[in-house]
Amino acid sequence: MTDATLIDGKAFSEKLVERVAERAAELSAIIGRPPALAVVLVGDNAASAVYVRNKIERTTAAGMRSVEHRLDADTGQAELLALIDELNNDDGIDGILVQLPLPDQIDEDAVINAITPDKDVDGFHVVNAGRLATGQDSLVPCTPFGCLLLLQDHLGDLSGLNAVVVGRSNIVGKPMAQLLLQQSCTVTIAHSRTRDLAALCATADILVAAVGRPEMITGDFVKPGATVIDVGINRVPAPERGEGKFRLTGDVDFDSAAAVAGAITPVPGGVGPMTIACLLRNTLVAAARRFDATIGEI
Ligand code: GUN
């Protein structure tokens, strides 16, 4: 039984992509070519291959150019760093994305920090993390930025609200907390060692779940009327659909949380589509900044 308003990330992301495509056409006319994203995939992780294919298709559909680089699973760090150096120095490339996770022989931090910060469309480089933390213009990680856009669309001004972010990853939890702090929320980051997580979460006007544990956040974690953002995308067995079948579920137990929340994002169709939309937005922003071009509001 769903009492909460459903936050439709799919519909919101489609409108955002339309605006990005319009601005990409505008920028293409100014710089004489479409904004260009290089996507690097190392190895044969099946989930990563699907994500990369989606990113490439959506980039092209928005009128931008995407260039794919596929490297073998046994690629060494030096070879990958050499490719990044080439892309950094390629004037025809505006954004570089290296799909994570990388194989064990490669140091992820070294790779992320080898990307020139102005082309770091994932916003993972330590310079972009530092710029975000100090309130300077930066490329912002796509998933938390997408969550913020959904929150602002639903709630308007977030100032003074209590926000609890469950999860402390560099990709989601930490930048999410920075973005909410910038909006004058009172922010707590919770994690696997947090004591009495349910009671803490139940103080949140905004509850962001980014733990990677299927349906861990249940209705008793939710303050009545709170806005719940579910970042999790977990593939779990679904024997009710037949032998060997799976379904996608979030980090939030949707039914019990929706019975208490004021609004909630579904999985799929909530945060997921926002991530790619924000990647396209970051690619456009990176291209415009590199050419010092002024384009309209996105
Ligand atoms: N792997 C999982 N999420 C992401 C992401 O947002 N960017 C990259 N580069 N890799 C990922």
CATH 3.40.50.720 maps onto the chain at 142-273
What pLDDT sits at residue 3?
84
Which atom belonging to ligand 1 lies closest to the Cα atom of 122? Answer: 7
The overall average pLDDT reported for the chain is: 97
55, 119, 174, 223: the active-site residue: 55
3-class SS letters over 175-212: HHHHHHHHCCCEEEEECCCCCCHHHHHCCCCEEEECCC
Once rounded to an integer, what is the mean pLDDT over residues 131-135? Answer: 98
Dist. CA 99 → ligand 1 center (Å): 5
Report the CATH fold assignment for 142-273.
Rossmann fold (3.40.50)
Per-residue pLDDT at 2 exceeds 70: no
Tallying the residues shown for the chain, one arrives at: 298
Residues of the chain with CATH 3.40.50.10860: 31-118
Determine the pLDDT at residue 137.
95
Determine how β-strand 206-209 pairs with β-strand 227-230: parallel
Q: Confidence class of residue 1 from pLDDT cuts 50, 70 and 90? A: low
More confident residue, 297 or 105: 105
223 is a catalytic site residue? no
141 close to 123: Cβ distance less than 8 angstroms: yes
- Residue keyed to tokens 């947090």: 194
Ligand 1 in contact with 97 (CB < 6 A)? Answer: yes
Is residue 280 predicted with pLDDT exceeding 90?
yes
Any atom of ligand 1 within 6 Å of the Cβ of 99: yes
Please, where are the H alpha helices in the chain? Answer: 9-31, 46-61, 77-88, 108-112, 126-133, 142-155, 173-182, 197-201, 254-258, 272-290
For range 286-291, the mean pLDDT: 98
Q: Is 296 exposed, middle or buried (0-12, 13-18, 19+ CB in 10 A)?
A: exposed
Active site residue 55: yes
108 alpha carbon – ligand 1 mean position (Å): 12
Return the pLDDT at 228. Answer: 99
Distance, in Å, from the CA atom of 265 to the CA atom of 231, rounded to the nearest integer, reads 9
Rounded to whole angstroms, how far apart are CA atoms 60 and 46?
22
Ligand 1 atom 1 nearest Cα = 100
Ligand 1 atom closest to residue 97's alpha carbon, by position in its atom list: 9
Ligand 1 nearest-atom number relative to CA 98: 9
Q: Which of 45, 48, 51 for a ligand 1 pocket mutation test, highest count of atoms within 8 Å of Cβ?
A: 51
> Residue 261 CA to chain centroid, in angstroms?
23
CATH of domain 31-118: 3.40.50.10860
Each residue's pLDDT tens digit, 16-74: 999 999 999 999 999 999 999 999 999 999 999 999 999 999 999 999 999 999 999 99
Cα separation, 230 vs 208, in Å, equals 6
